[in-house]
A and B are shown apart, each in its own frame.
Chain A
Amino acid sequence: MAPVQVRGTVLTVRRVDAYIAMTVVAPAIATRFRPGQFIAIAVGGAQTSMLARRAFAVHDVRPDHGGTVEFVFAVTGPGTGWLAECRSRDVLDVVGPLGRPFPVPRDPASCLLVGVGAGSAPLFALAARLAERGCQADFLLGAPSADRVFGALTARRTGRSAVITTADGSLGARGSVTDMLATVVQQARTDVIYGCAPVSVLRAVSALAGRYAIPVQALVAEPMACGTGICMGCVLPVVGTDGITRMVRACVDGPVFRGDHVRWDDVGTIPFDALGAPGWKPRQPEAGHAG
């Protein structure tokens, strides 16, 4: 369903370990939302000097107050700093729900949900949706330290299994999610992987899934300026079903992509064989896409 722009009232602002979880009353967004979609919020007030919207994956929607939307963020700059200072009853300009949601299997399947840091947030609404379809959800969550693992408790409570990794070993296994991936996939007999993590992790997840012939749905969190598709700031190279690589926008063509369609090694560049790349010839038959 088409996104809407609303003025949403802040309901709650909670500190959750290293993150802030904010709930906004936005019934029109809550009713349209499907797991994997995100919202874009204007920061800094009416006369703001910060012109880019800040995009956040939706953690959860609830039916109270007509419909609320919750998202999770860390303070990384002046924009998120301003947002963290908001209190209940402040009013935010919110656009959403944006982007394409996670596709879910038609039949019961064993699903592995991989999240790093605050990237775990959108996985819990997905897990609930998967449960409705009779799917099993296993969690594999990672972060640099224990206070940056988001939702470990919920994962343990709602998932069939939950494996936690931290770089400093302060919670769960020491290391990164990619170290544990193969073990978890084998133990859980995973049929499909959902991932929400930095590009380097998504690349590793997609590569491993390719070896096991498991489909991957990857949610990329590229920085965005508008969230609606007009600024063209969040493009990445994706191979289409016709075999042609195009620079597509993470905000409208994603943020969820099939892991085997994204050219992870070329993210941040314009591959020479991408449609319209310098030297690209329109009338020549397309070369192969072995890369």
Chain B
Amino acid sequence: MPADLRTRLAHVELPSPVLTAAGCAGAGRELAQFIDIARVGAVITKSVTLEPRAGNPVPRLAETPSGMLSAGGLQGPGIDAFLQRDLPWLLSRGARAVVSIAGHTAREYAELATRLSDAAGVTAIEVNLGCPDAEGGGRPGRLFAHDPASAGQVVAAVRGSGRWDIPVFAKLSPDVTDIVAVARACVTAGADGLSMINTLPGMAIDVATMRPTLAAVHGGLSGPAIRPVAVRCVWQVREALPDVPLIGAGGVRAGTDVLELMLAGASMVAVGTALFHDPSACARIQRELEEELLARGIDRVADIIGLAHQPAVFAADRHGRLS
């Protein structure tokens, strides 16, 4: 019998813990050519902004060992076009939409949340805190996710404007000294759950041209190269806030990677950069996850969330590995 893959996203039940990560699946349309997106747990959309954005100049992407540096600059059609075109399309395909939102001020985030509350069929909101804070002390390159207070402010603004029954997830950056402090601030401000990790800041230089590879100079590093960082962040936050549901993300490319992040404490796992490499990755990873669970005799995927935290002696007993 196949394992029960149902998991809960706050109070919403999803058929599978495998999601698409924000910015790596557009609004689902491209991937739907290769997989049935209704069978993915949910599609976390590319971050939506209030106005259309043209993004950064090219080159926007650089391949690094087991990773990808990207600086797309949040190119997108803006919330109006998203609500008119992308969201209805996603829903018409039977997919669940977790809408990622991005802004430069807490007020922009609040307005986006209001607009999304008026639309039917939003499963959850993911607050992309990896954006420069336009009002935060004027230090360039400072993101909302860098500071517990500004992260909390944005989450509170979203929580205050959105519908109460749409769960709000805050997406955290690993580029902080104490991720638990930011996590705690977001939960205190009203986040129903947390999503981690966003990309790590990185840079590459083209030795042929002797110039930075990316037009934007810096970019966000993603891909399997950052998976250990994601596991560590999920582990730390789970330890500090065991009751808060977490979406794990960072370098997932196989069923065992989903297992690893769930054992660390994630209730759901988002697949990101792997989708560039394999557009049918979500379906494959879901299949692999089922096989891995079957091989371990686990009936319900929800049973393994945070399992790695239990003392070694219980874990060994459970699997009969202690002689």
Specify whether A and B are partners. yes
A247 CB contact (under 8 Å) in B33, B75, B273? B75
Partner of B65, one of A49, A52, A252: A49
Q: How far is the CA of A25 from the CA of B24 in the complex (A)?
A: 29
B58 to chain A, nearest CB (A): 6
Q: Is the CB of A268 within 8 A of B58?
A: yes
Interface string of A86-100 (1 = CB under 8 A from B): 000000010100000
Given contacts A3-B33, A51-B66, A52-B68, contact A232 B60 (CB under 8 A): yes
B280 near A42 with CB under 8 A, answer: no
Of residues 238 to 291 in A, which have CB atoms within 8 Å of B's CB atoms? 246-247, 252, 268-270, 274-278, 280, 282
**Judging by beta carbons under 8 Å apart, are B55 and A51 in contact?**
no
Instruction: Kindly list chain B residues whose C-beta atoms are within 8 Å of the C-beta of A270.
Output: 54-57
Which residues of the partner chain B approach A215 to less than 8 Å between Cβ atoms?
Answer: none
Residues of A within 8 A of B276 (CB): 51-53, 225-226, 230-231
Question: Is A178 an interface residue when CB atoms closer than 8 A count as contact?
Answer: no
Q: Which A residues lie within 8 Å of B77 (CB)?
A: 276
Question: Which chain A positions have C-beta within 8 A of B54?
Answer: 246-247, 270, 274-278, 280
Contact for A233 among B52, B60, B224, CB less than 8 A: B60
Task: Name which residue of chain B comes closest to A51, CB basis.
Answer: B277
CA distance A50 to B224 in the complex (A): 10
Measured in the bound complex, the distance between the Cα atoms of B61 and A230 in whole Å is: 12
Chain B residues near A50: list those with CB within 8 A. Answer: 63
User: Which of these, A48, A269, A274, A276, contacts B78 with CB under 8 Å?
Assistant: A276
A216–B152 CA distance with the chains assembled, in angstroms = 54
Interface size of A by Cβ–Cβ distance < 8 Å? Answer: 39
Q: Which residue, of A4, A51, A223, has the highest number of chain B Cβ atoms within 10 A?
A: A51
Q: Mark A43-60, 1 if CB is under 8 A from B, else 0.
A: 000001111110000000
By secondary structure, the B interface counts as loop
Verify B30–A275 contact, CB threshold 8 A. Answer: no
- A278 / chain B contacts, CB cutoff of 8 Å: 54
Bound complex: CA A260 to CA B24 (Å): 31
Contact of B25 with A by CB under 8 A: yes
Complex interface: chain B residues within 8 A of A280 (CB):
51-52, 54
* Interface mask (B223-234 → A, CB under 8 Å = 1, otherwise 0): 110000000000
- Whether B203 sits at the interface, judged by CB under 8 Å, is no
> Which chain B residues lie closer than 8 Å to A268 at the CB level?
57-58, 215
B87 to chain A, nearest CB (A): 17
> CB of A145 within 8 A of chain B?
no
- A252 CA to B54 CA, complexed, in Å: 17
Chain B residue contacts of A277, Cβ below 8 A = 54
The answer, yes or no, to whether B275 is at the interface (CB within 8 Å) is yes
Interface contact B31-A230, CB-CB below 8 Å = yes
Q: How far is the CA of A252 from the CA of B30 in the complex (A)?
A: 9
User: How many angstroms from the CA of A95 to the CA of B224 in the assembled complex?
Assistant: 22
Which chain A residue shows the least CB distance to B75? A232
CB pair A228–B33 under 8 Å, yes or no, is yes
Residues in B neighbouring A42, C-beta threshold 8 A: 277-278
Q: Is B58 in contact with A275, judged by CB distance below 8 angstroms?
A: no
B253 to chain A, nearest CB (A): 9
Partner of A222, one of B58, B72, B78, B223: B58
A contact residues vs B (CB 8 Å cutoff): 2-5, 42, 48-53, 93, 95, 222-223, 225-226, 228-236, 246-247, 252, 268-270, 274-278, 280, 282
Q: Other CB < 8 Å A-B pairs besides A228-B34, A282-B51, 4 of them?
A: A5-B280, A51-B276, A230-B275, A276-B54
Q: Sample 19 A-B pairs with CB under 8 A, ordered by A number.
A: A53-B276, A93-B278, A95-B279, A226-B277, A226-B279, A228-B30, A228-B34, A230-B25, A230-B26, A230-B31, A231-B276, A232-B60, A232-B72, A235-B55, A269-B57, A275-B52, A276-B53, A277-B54, A282-B78
The 3 A-B residue pairs with the shortest CB-CB distance, nearest first, are: A276-B52, A233-B61, A276-B54
Q: Which residues of B contact A (CB under 8 A)?
A: 24-26, 30-31, 33-34, 51-61, 63, 65-68, 70, 72, 75-78, 215, 223-224, 273-280
